[in-house]
A and B are shown apart, each in its own frame.
Chain A
Amino acid sequence: MNTILKLFLLFIAATILHWALMAFMGGVGVSLNVMLVFAVAVCAYLKPEYGYALSFVCGLFLDFFSVKLFGCSALTLTLCAAAVYSLEKRLDFDGILPQMLCVFCLSLLAFLLNCLLLKVFAGFSAWRGFGSFAIGIILNAFLAPFIFRVVRFAFVRGNKSY
């Protein structure tokens, strides 16, 4: 119960941060995705029951604003969660570099998958130039250590995770 409450509060904080950064970055054409970084961080420290459910909800939150296709981000973030759980034994998510590398690769894959799904299901091209794409992914990677630290602080006591 405690974990669910903490997750809920962190989810609200993540949506506020996402909203704030998008309001600022959206104006200059940068595709920053705080919800993806948050979902990856939760998956890195929490059990799959929580990780998958939260990734799906984060995806639905992003889909809620979309006018073209509903469920696209939910699918992308669920697949990202699956990728994190399959990598958890090979990567040490306590290190800053693995965190950044993981978020960088997953942001890249999520963006490309999003573009592909939008093209296939809605016939819509989401590609807005290499600049927007690259800056968004790099900023996601730089944001990762901060969000991972917050999630780790909330859920990990010593070496024990929930």
Chain B
Amino acid sequence: MQRKTKRKNQISQISRRRKILPAVFVLLSLLLMILPLESPVASVKALLSYIFIPQIRLSHATLEYGDGVSRTIRELLDTHQENERLKAEMSQLRLQNAQAKEIFAQNERLTKALNIKSPRGWNGIWAKTAYREPTQWNSVIIDKGAAQGVQERAAAISLQEGQPILAGVVVETDENTAKVLLLQDEDFSAAVYTQESAEEGLLTGGGSAMLLMKYLPVLSKIKPGEKVYTSASSSIFPAGILVGEVDALETDESFSSAPFAYVKPQAQAPSVRELFILTRQENEGKK
């Protein structure tokens, strides 16, 4: 009889635990969602970073090692051909270098004569896309962080066929990783201009494949196919980085709201793999 009662008590204890446990975790999750991201949640994230960052580094190092092994084998197999190609390229580059030196000297003379402030080169570091959040394609985690000089609000640029294109902006940094908000995100914004009609506007992410160029003049002359570049009035991005091209212009017949243009981004979110992160000196330098 006593054993029966004991068994009954045990079962009721287990069933109570089964009800309490999920309730506790659900409440905790809801609390984390409701609290503002800045203060208490930031502390929880900081605490978790001590647990998860070493794991992330281990995962990334494992992947890098695996990738490195296969790349080394591939490279070894291609070395001879590559060597020949590089030799030809080098002699071509020597020629171009000699021409460039002359052009630079000429440019310096003209800059001095016309009293123009010469733009400074971009400084930064290359980082690899290490992780993508499965449900949020508009942000990526890169394998460089504060320790390597990556700072919040730094511009992220990617290269496509040798041309720099705007990819996003750094929104969070940890010691060895950083989060980059891609330009497709609704929270992203940058001052831009169109190449031919030379009209300025505010570019924001559309949350989907298209970007929006807002606050255009009422009688905007923007045409589909025009290239869109970052403007010098942008506080984060250096001027002249290709963003994409105009897809369509939307105008309000009643003129009650400013026209806006749909911009097709050059950098597609899933294809962003390597990013050039501008360092602070650069951002200050461009001003």
Contact = CB atoms under 8 A, between A and B. Distances in A.
A19 B45 contact: no
Nearest to B40: A70
Nearest to B62: A16
Nearest to B61: A16
Contacts of A61: 52
A85 interface: yes
Interface in B125-165: 129-137, 139-141
B179 A75 contact: no
Interface string B40-60: 010011001100100110111
Given A15-B55, A56-B29, A74-B29, A124 B186 contact: yes
Contacts of B28: 56, 71, 74
A70 B37 CA distance: 7
B17 interface: yes
Interface stretch (B19-27, B70-78, B86-94, B214-222): B19-27
The secondary-structure label for the interface of chain B is helix
Nearest to B33: A71
Interface residues of A, number: 53
A60 interface: yes
Interface in A64-121: 64-72, 74-75, 78-79, 81-82, 85, 111, 114-115, 117-118, 121
Interface residues of B, number: 49
B100 interface: no
A154 interface: no
Given A12-B55, A20-B59, A27-B270, A125 B135 contact: no
A52 B132 contact: no
B98 interface: no
Contact of B131 (A22, A63, A72): A22
Contacts of A19: 56, 59-60, 63, 130-131
**Which residue of B17, B28, B29, B59 has the most chain A CB atoms within 10 A of its CB atom?**
B29
A20 B135 contact: no
Contact of A31 (B25, B135, B181, B207): B135
Interface of B: 17-18, 21-22, 25-26, 28-34, 37, 41, 44-45, 48-49, 52, 55-56, 58-60, 62-63, 129-137, 139-141, 171-172, 179, 181, 186, 207-208, 270-271, 273
Task: List 4 A-B pairs, minimum CB-CB distance, nearest first.
Answer: A71-B32, A26-B132, A75-B29, A19-B59
5 contacts: A27-B270, A49-B21, A61-B52, A66-B133, A85-B22
Given A59-B29, A75-B33, 18 more contacts: A19-B60, A19-B131, A20-B59, A26-B132, A26-B140, A26-B270, A27-B132, A48-B21, A52-B21, A55-B25, A56-B28, A67-B171, A70-B37, A70-B45, A85-B22, A111-B135, A124-B136, A125-B208
